[in-house]
Amino acid sequence: MKTIDSLIHFLDRLATPRMTDRQIEIVENKLLNLANDDDREAARRYTDLYLCRIKWERTRSPEDRHNFIHQAQDAQAWLASIPAETTTT
């Protein structure tokens, strides 16, 4: 059974799009800076990302890792869609 779990975990990590810890940290910092400037959408996205991180850190399950990375990528895409001068703080 452990072999099957290891295989599932390995395949899940292959299927999960890559984002480095540094990339995620940059996204989190940009969202937090915007949230501190009273941007409600940034605050909502930061909260969602933070909750996903907490859940993944608690469970360490492949599904929660995938959800966390997906949430970070969504936030990164949103940040890319807003004017650059807003995200440079």
- Provide DSSP, 1-35: -HHHHHHHHHHHHHHSPP--HHHHHHHHHHHHHHH
Do 39 and 53 meet the contact criterion of CB atoms below 8 Å apart? no
- Model pTM above 0.85: no
Tokens found for residue 50: 């933070």
Domain ranges of the chain: 2-87
DSSP 3-state of 39: coil
Residue 52 scores a pLDDT above 70:
yes
Per-residue pLDDT, 66: 87
> For residue 43, what is the DSSP state?
H
| 51 vs 75: CA distance, rounded Å | 13
pLDDT band at 15 (very low <50, low <70, confident <90, very high): low
Q: How do residues 53-68 score in pLDDT, each as one tens digit?
A: 999 999 998 889 889 9
Question: Quick one: how far is CA 49 from the chain centroid?
Answer: 5
Measured CA to CA, the distance from residue 40 to residue 9 in angstroms comes to: 36
